[in-house]
Amino acid sequence: MLDLRGTGLPTVLHWGADLGNLTQDELSQLADAATMPNMPGFDDVVPRVALLPEHGTGWPGQPGLTGHRQGADWSPLFTLDSVEADGLSVRIRAADRTAQLGLVLEAGLTPAGLVRMRAAVRNDDTVRPYTLDGLMLALPVPDSATELLDLTGRWCRERSPQRHPFNAGTWLRETRSGRTGPDAALVLTAGTPGFGFGHGEVWGLHIAWSGNHRILAERLPAGRPALAAGELLLPGEVVLGPGEEYTGPWLYGSHSAKGLDGLSARFHDHLRARPGHPHRPRPVVLNTWEAVYFDHNLDKLTHLADLGAQVGVERFVLDDGWFRHRRDDRAGLGDWYVDETVWPNGLGPLIDHVRALGMEFGLWVEPEMVNPDSDLARAHPEWILATGGRTPADRRFQQVLDLTHPEAYAYILERLDALLTEYDIAYLKWDHNRELVDAGHSPGGEPAVHAQTLALYALLDELRARHPGLEIESCSSGGGRVDLAVLEHTDRIWASDCNDALERQSINRWTGLLLPPELVGSHIGTARSHTTGRTHDLAFRAGTALFGHLGIEWDLTRASESERAELTRWVSLHKQLRDLLHTGRVVRIDHADPALWAHGVISNDRTEAVFALASVATPVAAHSGTLRLPGLDPNTTYRVRPLPPADHAPGMERGTPAWCTKDGITLSGNVLEHVGIQIPTLHPEQLILLHLTSR
């Protein structure tokens, strides 16, 4: 609800619970009721949080627009020009004629109930340029939102939650790595004390941008607390000439009166309603990285493909190591030609074999990067992002290719287009392993992260336009580029390079704060994890991966016949449940014992559900108590049974609950939510599945 009375920018009266259809008089009275009175020591009128906060109104917090003309016009004050309403959205035009700036604000609701908003600023001066330092939009939250939750992380430990009080001051999260980042806040959430997955009122903000950004929560002595976000612009990165305009990224706000699951459901519903959302069944993937690494051998790979097809794989992806000079990670990036010394007949023989087995073929690429030890870097050092006068320090033996350079962009487009034209490639695993540090455009070294991000989007779109049906995965040192903007140009994300099932329990759980399961690559790794060295049984690994876009990251030529037989059963189960898992409502359960994690998916008609119960540590108590299953239809009777092949775990032999028998038990959704079922004895890092069907 926006207050557009007066001549200034709109303020947000309310976003959250549906207040019903209010009359114009009720709206006016609501606005009056929400207006704060004057307070001693403050301005005559206490400023409210505008969509774009302005210092010129007396707002003492972070301003929405920062910039200047050589020190002038640094504190604009906009006057409303026009308002255009269209269904659930509004476009607001405003101007500061003294500062010679124009402003367009767009705000509205998506059909899923998300607040969606962005801003554009225009330089109306006919002579002088305007240096834009930042553009942020804000949403206020009630005083009752006294806790904050956001995410942090690193490589192989992405999206780790952190919670703290929403105290006075500013909680600021910035990303300066040129990508979303494994440590990104993802969704900055404010809520009532102790909010969880199924309880408490929460308000969350996400910035749909894959480059540098800032997102903050601010509570001031005067005015309502607020969440705000925008692109982080480097010094001089955006300078608007006369008549030029900058448009910021979309921001998405989600509210729930029933905890984080409700907040997530709006994001999930929004993504699933997109015209470009992948609606065909998500193919089960076999990715070759942890099977062969750089040791590419046609006989080994065709045998791997044979075994993959036998266990039910539907998409075979050849990972790093297929292109020129790429015998390790120190050379070859940028030389996007099939290596003739390894593949004397090209990729055709492998692709033909994979296709004859009924599987799609996918290929790993990292087009935004270049190794200094490559033909491309030696021929075109000017195509490397650099600040001028020096080359950035190598990271992972890599530099960043300047996609804002027309010739570099054209080269990458031509190379990828040629590969996709020559070969039957249905899928690109698009990696991005180096942060953008000292990322400048030659020859002057001007900052280029903003333009590089837009060039990436354009490149992805051009390839998809030339090759309809091509699917692309956003991979970035694992889960370093996860946001709603990159998903406008890709079809899934790789959540993490870590396939350790214990780590993935957390990574997948919190990636789901924003993304539905079908967009999250989740693979069954080897028994001994490549990244952590931990060893897990197949039930724990497969039961963890089951709920995402399922894949396999395992050298099946070294797996035993019994392991491959069990893996076949898991792949078959995933295909059986795939429609439910990839269309239903995600539920995460708040259990009193932090060692026990439970989550599930409930079909939209609430006739079927599958839940996973995982022991991620040693339980606090010897007796684990009961598990309540929320989200079911209270008036429907369900049959609850363990689901093979995860229907039993060592340790369950003694005192197995009645529902763990083959016939299970039958209870109403009301009883299952409010009373629950007894939790069986599980050793740490074990998992069982529950299947619920209506009777």
Q: Could you give the residue numbers annotated as active site?
A: 431, 497
Q: How far is CA 52 from CA 77, 220, 450, 463, in A?
A: 10, 16, 21, 36
- Report the C-alpha gap between 306 and 356 in whole angstroms: 10
Name the residue type at position 387: T
Q: Cβ atoms within 10 A of the Cβ of 377, count?
A: 21
- Report the C-alpha gap between 3 and 20 in whole angstroms: 17
DSSP 192-205: STT--SSSS-EEEE
Q: What angle do CA 336, 342, 343 make, to 5 degrees?
A: 75
List the one residue out of 354, 272, 371 whose CA is nearest residue 313: 354
Which residue is associated with the tokens 């070759």? 288
Q: What angle do CA 177, 179, 183 make, to 5 degrees?
A: 70
Q: Cβ atoms within 10 A of the Cβ of 423, count?
A: 17
Radius of gyration of the chain (CA): 27
Residue 375 burial by CB count (10 A; 0-12/13-18/19+): exposed, middle or buried?
A: middle
The CA dihedral of 286, 186, 590, 199, to the nearest 10 degrees, is -140
List the one residue out of 692, 601, 614, 669 whose CA is nearest residue 646: 614
Stated length of the chain: 695
The residues near 555 (Cβ < 8 Å, ≥ 6 apart) are 290, 291, 292, 304, 526
List the one residue out of 48, 16, 43, 17 whose CA is nearest residue 31: 48
Q: What angle do CA 201, 203, 205 make, to 5 degrees?
A: 160
DSSP secondary-structure letter at 529?
-
Could you tell me whether strands 492-494 and 471-474 are parallel, antiparallel, or unpaired per DSSP bridges? Answer: parallel
Strand partners, 608: 693
311-323: b (≥16 Cβ within 10 Å) or e: bbbbbbbbbbbbb
Which residue is associated with the tokens 């604000």? 105
- Report the C-alpha gap between 542 and 120 in whole angstroms: 46
Instruction: Supply 596's token pair.
Output: 């026990």
Q: What are phi and psi of 90, to 5 degrees?
A: -140, 140
Which residue is associated with the tokens 């801003």? 119
- Report the C-alpha gap between 267 and 115 in whole angstroms: 10
Asked if 261 and 587 touch (Cβ cutoff 8 Å), the reply is yes
Distance between alpha carbon 121 and the CA centroid of its chain, in Å?
Answer: 27
- Report the C-alpha gap between 670 and 633 in whole angstroms: 7
Could you tell me whether strands 147-154 and 549-553 are parallel, antiparallel, or unpaired per DSSP bridges? Answer: unpaired
DSSP secondary-structure letter at 666?
E
List the one residue out of 132, 129, 156 whose CA is nearest residue 66: 132
Q: How far is CA 416 from CA 220, 398, 409, 412, 466, in A?
A: 51, 19, 11, 6, 11
Instruction: Supply 394's token pair.
Output: 């190598």
Q: Cβ atoms within 10 A of the Cβ of 441, count?
A: 19
